[in-house]
Amino acid sequence: MSSLHGFGLDDVSEQTGTDPDTLRKFYLGVGKKKLKAVILGKIDYIPWNDWVSKVLDPHWKTRYNQLKPLMEKVDGIRAIKP
């Protein structure tokens, strides 16, 4: 996902504290928009915090509301109802 927002491998490595060699096993590289931007010298992207609040947050809230009725408090700790 980071590559879709203009993050390079070095940026992800620094942010996560993970060795770049380890990330290369899982990192998909740049997205097509990022590569086109590098070639043409322009980029259109959604800032990370906007992407989280507008794209990710609604999915998280939907899933939370699906799971919430399945939970019950046991000794002050939420647990899945049997």
pLDDT in tens, 21-70: 888 777 665 566 666 777 777 766 778 888 889 989 999 999 999 988 88
**In a shared domain, residues 54 and 35:** no
**Euclidean distance between CA atoms 20 and 51, whole angstroms:** 25
Residue 8, pLDDT > 80, answer no
Report pLDDT for 25: 76
Does residue 53 sit in the same domain as residue 73?
yes
Shared-domain flag, residues 12 and 40: yes
Are residue 2 and residue 39 in the same domain, yes or no? yes
Query: Domain range for residue 52?
Result: 47-82
- Cβ(45)–Cβ(36) below 8 Å: no
Task: Give the separation between CA 66 and CA 54, rounded to whole angstroms.
Answer: 19
Residues 38 and 68 in one domain: no
> How far is 21 from 16, CA to CA, in rounded Å?
13
Same domain assignment for residues 31 and 66: no
In the chain, the number of structural domains is 2
- Tell me, yes or no, whether 2 and 40 share the same domain: yes
What's the confidence (pLDDT) of residue 43?
66
pLDDT at 82 over 90: no
Instruction: For residues 40 and 58, state if they share a domain.
Output: no
Q: What is the pTM of this model?
A: 0.40
